Amino acid sequence: MTPSIPPISPVPRMVGILGGMGPAAGADFVRLFVEACTRRMAALGIPVRDQAYPEHWLAQVPIPDRTAALGDRTSGAHQPAEPMAQATGRLVALGVQAVAIACNTAHAWHGELQQRFPQLQVLHGMREVAAGLAAAQVPRVALLATQGSYDSGLYQAELQRHGVACVLPQPGEREQLMQGIYDGVKAGDYALARHRFAAVAQALRERDGVSTLIMGCTEIPLALDEAAAGARLVNPSQVLAEALARCAYAGIRPRTPARAGADAIA
């Protein structure tokens, strides 16, 4: 006779993911979130099984280009704020209590989303990354990102607030990053993306002596690894996925070692 497994109590919170920026990055974020939930369950002493994962919804919707919108602030269909809000509204209607934005540049509209949905916890990826680097006592990093992210200054502001110095690529290197993102990952040419991303990483490492790089665009981790970069890589999507998993299991108290052991044996 197979012993019954006690139910999880309380139930994890329902959470959402705002994706579609681009679709491959949104799908990869779900993978990172599921992996983060697995680690969270292990830390809480919860038996890892299908029923213990939180209900989570991915809103994978077409949203206008964020960098282009930041370059042209006039109102119109090219602005992503309203499509982002509509997608978030659907998540709220489903009952999600916290949402992660699976796009770095889209955080330029984080404040608008949070203000529009005050009942919802909208996580801020840049704050999570900066806080984590400060806690790990990392003094200096370089930022690989879109031109829109550089122009918005979101990462720079949060890193400065947490006492972490930030090195930015030179203009020509930023163009290489944009080529890798748009002509590379978004177009399905991962070989081109790997070449462009690795070249910029190498330049930052050799010229500026930076040993930690933030992959500040969700497309970059899809085509760059530490072997190619020659440096420690920080994946904000993974950091944000961990934060969303903490939100999902917030309020669930760790089981005692004895109970956790008994569950493992069962």
Question: Is the pLDDT confidence value at 141 over 90?
Answer: yes
133 and 113 in a single domain? The answer is: no
Q: Are residues 58 and 143 in the same domain?
A: no
Residues 207 and 222 in one domain: yes
Nearest residue to 110 via CA among 135, 139, 85: 85
Share of the chain above pLDDT 70, in %: 92
Average pLDDT value for residue range 6-24: 83
Q: Are residues 228 and 131 in the same domain?
A: yes
> How many CB atoms within 10 Å of residue 161?
13
What is the share, in percent, of the chain residues with pLDDT greater than 90?
Answer: 85
Q: Is residue 66's pLDDT more than 60?
A: yes
Average pLDDT, the chain: 91
Between 4-8, 90-94, 258-262, the lowest mean confidence (pLDDT) is in 258-262
Q: Tell me if 74 is assigned to some domain.
A: yes
> Would residue 3 count as lying in a domain?
no
101 within some domain: yes
User: Would you say 68 and 147 are in contact if contact means Cβ atoms under 8 Å apart?
Assistant: no
- On whether both 68 and 120 belong to a single domain, the answer is yes
Structural domain includes residue 7: no
125-142 burial, b at 16+ Cβ within 10 Å, e below that, comes to bbbbbbbbbbeeebeebb
The confidence band for 251, taking pLDDT boundaries of 50, 70 and 90, is confident
Are 98 and 222 found together in one domain? Answer: no
Q: Which helix (H) or strand (E) holds 58?
A: strand 56-60
Both 110 and 155 in one domain: the answer is no
Residue 173 counted as domain residue = yes
Give the phi and the psi of residue 99 in degrees, each rounded to 5: -140, 145
Q: Are residues 150 and 180 both part of a single domain? A: yes
Residue 8's CB: how many other CB atoms inside 10 A?
Answer: 18
Average pLDDT over residues 249-263: 62
Task: Give the mean model confidence (pLDDT) for residues 180-204.
Answer: 96
The model's pLDDT over 68-127, given as tens digits with 9 standing for 90+, comes to 998 888 888 889 999 999 999 999 999 999 999 999 999 999 999 999 999 999 999 999
Q: d(Cα 133, Cα 130) in Å, to the nearest integer?
A: 5
Please check whether residues 246 and 117 belong to one and the same domain: yes
Q: Is residue 47 part of a domain?
A: yes
- Domain tally for the chain? 2
Question: Residue 2 falls within a domain, yes or no?
Answer: no
Please report which confidence band the pLDDT of residue 9 belongs to, taking 50, 70 and 90 as the band edges: low
**Assigned domain for 8 exists:** no
Q: Are residues 112 and 21 in the same domain?
A: yes
Query: What average pLDDT score do residues 146-175 get?
Result: 95
Listed residue (198, 214, 200) closest to 172, CA to CA: 200
CATH number, position 226 = 3.40.50.1860
Statement to judge: residues 35 and 119 lie in one domain: yes
120 and 135 assigned to the same domain? no
Which residue range(s) make up the domain with 72? 15-125+240-265
